[in-house]
Amino acid sequence: MSVPHRELPAIADYVLLPLINVTVAFLVSGLVVLAIGENPIEAVKIMVFGALGYSEGIGFTLYYATDFVFTGLAVAVAFHAGLFNIGAEGQATLGGLGVALVCLAFDGAPWWLVAPFALVASALFGAAWAFLPAWAQARRGSHIVITTIMFNYLAAVLMVWLLGGPLGKPGAMSPETRTFEEATRLPLLRDLVAPFGIDLGQSPLNPTVFAAAAAAVFVWALIWKTRFGYELRAVGRNPTAAVYAGIEPGGIVIAAMLISGALAGLLAVNEVMGTQHRLLLEFTAGAGFVGIAVALMGRNHPVGVVLASLLFGMLYQGGAELAFEKPNISRDMIVVIQALVILFAGALEHMFRPALGRIFAPRGRTA
């Protein structure tokens, strides 16, 4: 005798609804652009061309997207276990520490030898940073949202201390490690594809993008094709039923957070080993928080996360171009557009659902 559910067809639920949300976000953004006296159509042209119009732009878009895929997946995995991991930022930061330690220890060794260790170290360090909040949630009931936020700050402070002291480059003005040797840095894809006549310009796109794709496939299989994923989803959707089914929710919570932290940590390979070649303060540049938006928008599905990451990659890259071309439109304006996308695709995700439901409701049929 409950109110009958109105189910949308999958195509409407997973494609049409997000598309409408993003479109509305852009329409509203257009109004904002109009309000500051610029032509929104021209702005869109610049953004899209900047992000996708030439190979260097595409390279940058994919490079940004790589970061977001890792953090988006991190948030999504935790979400399926019923956990809101706000701490991807801090976990990625610690991942950076892991990568930097490996690269500094093997400095000068060829990148292909160091890369596997760097990957493992980034995942381990990221997971380790997620462990305490996970344990506190699972065994002591401390809310994961609070503890992961606190651990973001702890990570930041830890970095300041490490880079200003033990790990800092002697005599440097800024808190950072020394730069890795050329041989130890990840190769840039631009060097690999240049012989084929593709010019990726200055884009820092590196092989980590493939690791991100692999991570998306891994997460998909883990969540929907394994027993662990089954148990993780059961805990996330109905912990009481999970206990009934002989699943220990605490163990699942800890495991899910370790995986989440590991995924966030992997971001550091892209940034530290692939792009900046040294450990900097705040090298994550907020990618951990963008991951939350990406996961929300991507409906916590790896395919959605990848698509949303690409969209955000475009926003970052196209937005940078826009800010460069149009002095009136500052970097902050880009943040506003991103915020609108998050608002409509994330927070107001279901705003157009009832309307869509009416459109898709079968007519003239009696049940």
Partner 1 sequence: MGRAMTRSEAATASHPPAIAFVGIDKRFGAVHANRDIDLEIARGSIHGLVGENGAGKSTLMSILYGFYQADRGEIRIDGRRAAIRSSADAIHAGIGMVHQQFMLVDTLSVLENVLIGAEGSFRLGPAEKHARAVLKRLADDYELAVDPDAIVGSLSVGEQQRVEILKTLYRGAEILILDEPTAVLTPAEVEHLFRILRRLQGEGKTVVVITHKLKEIKAVTDWVSVMRKGEIVATWPTADTTVEMLAEAMVGRRVLLRVEKAASVPGAVELEVDRLSIVDRRGVALLDDVSFTVRAGEIVGIAGVAGNGQSELLEAIAGIRRATRGRILVGGRDASALDPAEIRGLGVAHIPEDRHRMGLVLDFAAEENAILGYQDDPAWRRGPLLDGTKIRDAATTMFSDYDVRPPDPELRTALFSGGNQQKIIVGREIGREPRVLLVGQPTRGVDIGAIEAIHRRLIELRDRGRAILLVSAELDEIRSLSDRVLCMCAGRITGECRPEASEREIGLLMAGLGTEVGA
Using the rule CB under 8 A, which residue among 15, 31, 214, 241 binds partner 1? 241
With CB under 8 A as the contact rule, the residue among 23, 39, 174, 226 that binds partner 1 is: 226
User: Which residue number, 36 or 361, has a Cβ lying nearer to partner 1?
Assistant: 361
> What value, to the nearest 5°, has the Cα angle with vertex 144 and ends 138 and 146?
140
362 near partner 1 (CB under 8 A)? yes
Chosen residue from 196, 197, 240, 332 binding partner 1 by CB under 8 A: 240
Question: Which string of x and - marks every residue 129-168 that binds partner 1 (by CB under 8 A)?
Answer: ----------------------------------------
Q: Is 7 among the residues that bind partner 1 (CB under 8 A)?
A: yes
Task: Name every residue whose Cβ is closer than 8 Å to that of residue 162 and which is 6 or more positions away in sequence.
Answer: 97, 168
Tell me the torsion sign for CA atoms 239, 240, 245, 246: positive
Candidate ranges 13-21, 239-247, 259-267, 328-336; the one touching partner 1 (CB under 8 A): 239-247
Give the interface size with partner 1 as a residue count (CB under 8 A).
31
Based on the shown chain and the rule CB under 8 A, indicate whether residue 202 belongs to the binding site for partner 1.
no
261 HSE (CA, 13 A, CB side): 31
How far from 276 is each of 51, 250, 258, 341, CA to CA, in Å? 21, 38, 26, 29
Q: Are 284 and 264 in contact (CB under 8 A)?
A: no
Q: Which of 1, 140, 170, 202 binds partner 1 (CB under 8 A)?
A: 1
Q: 1 or 173: whose CB is closer to partner 1?
A: 1
Which of the ranges 91-99, 141-149, 155-163, 356-364 carries the binding residues for partner 1, by CB under 8 A? Answer: 356-364
Contact 211/269 with Cβ under 8 angstroms?
A: yes
Pick out residues in 280-309 that bind partner 1 (CB under 8 A): none
Smallest Cα–Cα separation from 267: which of 206, 221, 351? 206
Q: Which amino acid is at 319?
A: G
CA-to-CA distance for 257 and 336, rounded, in angstroms? 31
Q: How far is it, in rounded angstroms, from Cα 267 to Cα 99?
A: 10
**Which CB sits closer to partner 1, 4 or 171?**
4
Q: List residues binding partner 1 (CB under 8 A).
A: 1, 3-7, 221, 225-227, 230-231, 233-234, 237-238, 240-248, 357, 361-362, 365-367
